[in-house]
Structure 1
Amino acid sequence: MTSRDPDYVVLGETRTYSFEAITRAIRLVAGGARFIATNPDPSGPSAEGLMPATGAIAALITRATGVEPYYVGKPNPLMMRSALNRIEAHSETTVMIGDRMDTDIVSGLEAGLRTILVLTGSTKPEQVARHPFVPTRVVESIADVVPLVDDFAPED
């Protein structure tokens, strides 16, 4: 970790972004550091309601520098393929479960997985139809996934 001529600025999810840290990131990226971010999610849920997430802070840095980040997390297909390889799983026997259509579900679909959208997070029911792709299933909460295990089990 350095603030003097780094090769990369890496932005990840946190609840403690500071104006000083964002300003430092802007200056480093403008000075030539490569810009990497974990995920493009602009917002996320909290007990009090929506809160800014990595994508919102990345957009702020991009707007100030003109440099777009390379996203290493969802929906990057490389991330999904690496994860499948790591756990020695195959796309035909794996299901992606998530609460965001624009990262979780598209990530699963692009990796060839079946997908389950859980409506207790970021995506609301009325937002599902806005997307040009659809999840395999939509459920109210993660508790509703347990009865689906047999439906998604590979056939012998």
Structure 2
Amino acid sequence: MLTHFNEEGRAKMVDITEKKISTRVAKARSSIFMGTEVYEAIKLQNIKKGDVLSVAQVAGIMAAKQTPSLIPMCHPIPISGVNISFEWESSDKDNMELIILTEVKTVSSTGVEMEALTAASVAALTVYDMCKAIDKSMTIGSTFLLEKSGGKSGDFKRK
């Protein structure tokens, strides 16, 4: 059942007043596919705009904190921590995939799934922005929730 609609069928922010405060954690994933030229430039830190992974990491953290400003029905909540990590995978000899993993924590009455997803998305967009001068054909991959814990709906882990 969707809870973001009032009796008139119009949008509303869900009332979380009665929800229990608990520790909540969400992990999300995104990725960006690129050719070896961009991969090498990132690895050798030859991107004119700076250290791509460091900037993407900070952008993702900032995005997690700004999620309620971007997603209309998100509650502003205290974020206890944000961590972003990167992994490289080779999809074939000419292409690389940068996997972006995010983890967001809070002690609140609502979860941080949207914050984790926003952090992953913005980190991927930041990589694209910083590297587009080399290759505009980079492709941002699927972005999805890996797992979440805490709250009334219980735990979720993607299979």
- Structure having the higher helix fraction is 1
TM-score, normalised via structure 2 length: 0.24
- Structure having the higher strand fraction is 2
TM-score, normalised via structure 1 length: 0.24
**Which has the bigger relative contact order, CA under 8 A and spacing at least 6?**
2
